[in-house]
Amino acid sequence: MLHVTIIGMGLIGTSLGMALRSADEKDAPLGKILLTGYDKNPRAVTDARGRLAIDREARTLKEALHEAQLVIVAVPVQAVRQVFEEIGPLLPNGAVVTDVASTKAQVVAWARELLPRTVQFIGGHPMAGREKSGPQAAERTLFERAIYCATPTSETGERAMQVLEALVEQIGAKLYYIDAAEHDAYVAGVSHLPFVLSAVLVDAVSRSAGWKEMQPLASTGFRDISRLASGDVEMHRDICLTNHEALVRWIDEATSSLMNLREAIETQDSQALTQFFEQAQAGREEWLQSKPNMRPGEEFFENFGAGQAADRPSLFGRWGKPKQK
């Protein structure tokens, strides 16, 4: 019986609980688990219990961490530091601690600073989400087939990696080992820049004098490109604060691209416009085509030397252990 504690019963924490508990105990990679949930807002814990995301509600952090063997910190990234401070003295020896925050370098630094040497930490980031937040928005299947980043450091122990691997397998996600700084730079481009552009679109049109009249003309294109603007304000703010350097670099890239396109539009340069949209179309097609190849242990390893053992997860930028076929 593994004692698992989830701190933070928001969208991710609650969805994780639902996904973990719905696994068949006999085949579950983590084995039999006892899941305890905690949130500074007791209402969220009750809601999570009501959604069958946890076995037990904890009213204090001390209660939540008693006998805990795997602790998942599922709070917004700016709150992680304080949670680490508070749980530091309460963590049982040998516990594995992980988090789910959207940026990782800062979290890894906080873990090094604030968590005791008697526990093992490994950073995590499931690449899944919804524009809604809170336990009521949670979904048992949120992580199915999603990429789950893990950012071990040279200090990360074998057990932490094994436990996280089992957790990721149990919720149906795919493990992806990556360096924390690289993670932050990449997700700033494919995850944070998208919500920035989405919010900018809504900001630009909703400040317009014609906004009321424009609303009925907005169709599926607007709906999709503006979707992330409905996302959690606190999460967006915290990501901007903790990943500001990488994000500003991407904003500058996007601005430069936008200026190129603006120039082509203003000068009515048909050829430049065709080229721009063709490249964008091809870029997205490349991404779409890449998706079916994302099987653990396959293809990705071809980029590495054959001398490197494929089942060692300690090399950054690699898929997790190949599954038995």
Residues 106-165 that bind a copy of itself (CB under 8 A): 127-129, 146-147, 149
The answer to whether the CB of 37 falls within 8 A of the CB of 9 is yes
The C-alpha atoms of residue 30 and residue 22 are separated, in whole angstroms, by 12
Cβ atoms 122, 262 nearer than 8 A: no
Q: What are phi and psi of 241, to 5 degrees?
A: -75, -40
Q: Which stretch binds a copy of itself (CB under 8 A): 17-25, 38-46, 164-172, 268-276?
A: 268-276
Helix, coil or strand: residue 150: strand
Which 164-193 positions form the footprint of a copy of itself (CB under 8 A)? 176, 178, 182-183, 185-187, 189-191, 193
Q: Which residue from 88, 157, 297, 317 is in contact with a copy of itself, where contact means CB under 8 A?
A: 317
Cα–Cα distance measured from residue 302 to residue 300, given in angstroms and rounded to the nearest whole number: 5
Does residue 313 belong to the site contacting a copy of itself (CB under 8 A)?
A: no
* Interface with a copy of itself (CB under 8 A), residue from 34, 79, 114, 197: 197
Rounded to the nearest whole angstrom, what is the least distance from the CB of residue 291 to a copy of itself in the complex? 8
Q: What is the DSSP letter of 190?
A: I
x/- letters, 224..263, toward a copy of itself (CB under 8 A): xxxxxxxx-xx-xx--xx--x--xx-xxxxxxxxxx-xx-
What does the alpha-carbon distance between residue 155 and residue 158 come to, in Å, rounded to a whole number? 10
Check residue 302 for interaction with a copy of itself (CB under 8 A): no
Residue 79 lies near a copy of itself (rule: CB under 8 A): no
For a copy of itself, the closer of residues 23 and 201 by Cβ is 201
Backbone angles phi, psi at 253, to 5 degrees: -60, -45
Binding-site member from 84, 198, 313, 320 for a copy of itself (CB under 8 A): 198
Q: Which CA distances in Å does 294 have to 183, 288, 298, 301? A: 17, 11, 8, 11
CA distance 83 to 98: 12
Q: What is the DSSP letter of 20?
A: H
Expressed in percent and rounded to 5, the helix, strand and coil fractions of the chain are 50, 10, 35
C-beta closer to a copy of itself: residue 60 or 281: 281
Q: Considering beta carbons, is residue 221 or 307 the nearer one to a copy of itself?
A: 221
Closest to a copy of itself by CB, 89 or 283 = 283
Among 41, 287, 304, 314, binds a copy of itself (CB under 8 A): 287
Verify binding: residue 222, a copy of itself, rule CB under 8 A.
Answer: yes
Q: Which x/- pattern over 25-64 shows residues binding a copy of itself (rule: CB under 8 A)?
A: ----------------------------------------
Rounded Cα distance, 138 and 19, in Å = 10
